[in-house]
Amino acid sequence: MIMLFRTYSAKASAPAGAKGWIEVLIWVSLAWNHGKLYALCIRRWCRAYLLDYGTLPKNSYGRWKTSILLTDEDLKNKILTHLQGIGPYISATDIVHFLSTPEMKSQLGRDKPFCLRTAQHWLHVMGYTWCKEKKGQYSDGHERKDVVEYWQRVFLPAMAQYAESMRKWDGNGGEVATPPPLRHTIVWFHDESIFYAHDRCKLHWVHNSETAKPYAKGDGVSFMVADFISADYGWLRGDGCDAHVTLKPGKNWDGYFSNGDVLAQATQAMNIL
């Protein structure tokens, strides 16, 4: 308001092309990195002030551009308590839904819903950061010395020899033209995946007070899927049969994928081939 009155009253300081009240109003709004909507607010405040010098615009939450969470500690604690009740995987949408309840609308005296961008800003104010959860060190105990030696001295040299007679593809999935061997080598890869009940996105809102936690390889009940696949023919399938194996690992579930299970699946795959 002060900048508008001074600029409009002092013709020398008026910007180029600003001849009247509206032009100066828009110029002042843009000078404060705001748009035309903010210019309407300035005009309303100025008109009210000209009618009554005691009606200065006031911010009930403190200084302008100060988040309400920095002045309303009770509201901040309510939101934090609500987020803690949800668990570690929270989102800005949770704040929007919480503030849209009739109780919170009545407390804030607000009919319009809060936008998602405001909720994201409030998360930063409350100390949250969108990042990967802090984890402690995890060491894979399966890479024993004898296994690594087998990879390097037996498996990889054999695969390099087989690759000379295998079909090859480029990055777009097209087959690369190579001199055809007498017989193509078809490699069937055995793939095993384990899915956990509590699999989550690794990125979420993490509070700055959280510290690194011990990292567990599994989280919740697991489900294992094992199958054979090749780049030439896809999944291994026969006449009404396949080598597909599913298992719920665990002592109290289906047990574990033992050597006997591996041999049985490999036998089934060879029978199909």
Q: pLDDT by residue (tens digit) across 148-185?
A: 899 899 999 999 999 888 888 888 878 888 777 778 88
225-244 burial: b if 16+ Cβ within 10 Å, else e: ebbbeeeeeeebeeeeeebe
Amino acid at 215: Y
Instruction: Please give the radius of gyration of the chain, using alpha carbons only, rounded to the nearest integer.
Output: 33
For residue 124, which of 69, 173, 193, 170 has the smallest C-alpha distance?
69
Q: List, in sequence order, the alpha helices (H) in the chain.
A: 2-9, 21-31, 36-51, 73-86, 92-99, 102-108, 116-125, 145-150, 156-163, 259-272
Q: Which of 25-34, 53-62, 96-105, 191-200 has the lowest mean pLDDT?
A: 53-62
| 2-58 per-position pLDDT tens digit | 777 777 776 545 555 556 777 777 878 887 777 778 788 888 888 888 888 777 766
CA dist 56 and 268 (Å) reads 84
Q: What is the pLDDT, as a whole number, of residue 15? A: 55
Q: Which residue has the higher pLDDT, 215 or 247?
A: 247
Any idea where the domains of the chain sit in the sequence?
2-51, 68-126, 145-272
User: Which pLDDT does position 218 carry in this prediction?
Assistant: 52
How far is the C-alpha of 258 from the C-alpha of 264, rounded, in Å?
A: 10
What average pLDDT is seen over the chain? 81
pTM as predicted: 0.42
Burial 164-185 (b: 16+ CB within 10 A, else e): eebbeeeeeeeeeeeeeeeeee
Task: Tell me the range of 107-111, 176-180, 233-237 where mean pLDDT is highest.
Answer: 233-237
At residue 239's C-alpha, the angle toward residues 234 and 242, to 5°, is 55
- If pLDDT is split at 50, 70 and 90, which confidence band does 70 have? confident
- Bridge-based pairing state of the strands 203-207 and 234-235: unpaired
Is the model's pLDDT at 257 over the cut of 80? yes
Average pLDDT rounded to a whole number, residues 208-220 = 69
